Copies of this chain bind each other. A is one copy, B any other.
Amino acid sequence: MTDTLNRGARIGILGGGQLGRMLSVAAARLGFVTHIYEPGANPPAGHVAHAVTTASYEDEAALTAFAQSVDVITYEFENIPTQALDLLEAHRPIHPGREALRISQDRLTEKHFLRDLGLQTAPFADITDLAGLQAAIAEIGTPAILKTRRFGYDGKGQARLKTPADAEVALADMAGAPAILEGFVDFSHEVSIIAARGLDGQVACFDPGENVHEAGILRTTTVPARLTSAQKTDAVLLTANILNRLDYVGVMGVELFVTPQGLIVNEIAPRVHNSGHWTQNGCTVDQFEQHIRAVAGWPLGDGQRYADVVMENLIGDDMDRVPALAQERDVALHLYGKAEVKPGRKMGHVNRITRAT
């Protein structure tokens, strides 16, 4: 355990995308100074950071210099190579910790972890070859979805199976990577809960948001979500269960399917999460500041929500709508400063305040 960070302490952030960008702004707001580590040139987070290192996760000299320049390290994405983490951790503490990364980096490990906690997940099977896939389909049924165990995000590394006949093509899509078959869950809607755990073990949850995806990418998150009081309590308890078991420090996003049989955990993300962006315009302490508070050993915000919000991602050509959105009252724009618009690329988001509460 590190101590509480002092004023002006330096926080290293692995990853320079929009999450790193918004973390950097939150860190500055608390008086901290940030250093971004990102392999890609001109990262969005670099526009609002004190220092940027442009280097790969294999560059040991750059990693070492980065670690030594900061007081604590955090990250915007979970797929950081293990060797880089080993090297960084030799110099400075990393929050959230290695156990959370180990589990969330591998869908199979994650599913076992969740089951061991007594939580419901989709039916799943470890897939190594076609025979195994066919056997798993026989047990789990179709429709189902084949996913690489590692390095998937925003629908990448996934293949849908409508019928058992899709097995061969789906497996080929995995390109030889270890995979997991996940069975169909008959859910009414998806919610996610953004929660945080402090260095002292304090847990705070934001209100669950209701998510709508399109083409595997989050489209909108709406608060409040359609949940009964009992479901909300379940969501909070199971999330706290996950955080405590991992001795977690930081913000985590937990995606849940709402079904008549209860809440089914879809996946966990050991970081700030797209479905928590609404907190920027719905809470005094948003998910980004909450994460920095946890990592810095500060007291957490309590998660209190002061408005109903609909967060909508601006993806690709949605950027053409910005001039019109800028004229809408009660719409807060959050653009990421990405130079190039690409289909499927998250370019920004808006938080539309639908009601003060």
In-complex Cβ contact of A28 among B48, B299, B329 (8 A) = B48
A15: interface (CB < 8 Å): no
B293 close to A326 (CB less than 8 A): yes
A326 close to B339 (CB less than 8 A): no
Count identical subunits in the complex.
2
A321: which B residues are within 8 A, CB to CB? none
A84: which B residues are within 8 A, CB to CB? none
A335 close to B31 (CB less than 8 A): yes
Instruction: A34 to B48: give the CA distance in the assembly, Å.
Output: 9
Q: How far is the CB of A10 from chain B (nearest CB, A)?
A: 10
A333 and B50 in contact, given A284-B281, A284-B353, A307-B306 (Cβ under 8 angstroms): no
**Chain B, residue nearest A31 (CB):** B335
Q: How far is the CB of A113 from chain B (nearest CB, A)?
A: 32
A205: interface (CB < 8 Å): no
**Chain B, residue nearest A341 (CB):** B7
A32 and B356 in contact, given A48-B48, A299-B326, A326-B293 (Cβ under 8 angstroms): no
Q: How far is the CB of A178 from chain B (nearest CB, A)?
A: 39
Q: List 20 A-B contacts (CB under 8 A).
A: A7-B322, A8-B337, A24-B48, A29-B333, A29-B335, A30-B333, A31-B336, A31-B337, A31-B348, A32-B337, A34-B47, A48-B49, A284-B330, A284-B331, A284-B353, A298-B326, A302-B329, A304-B329, A304-B330, A356-B356
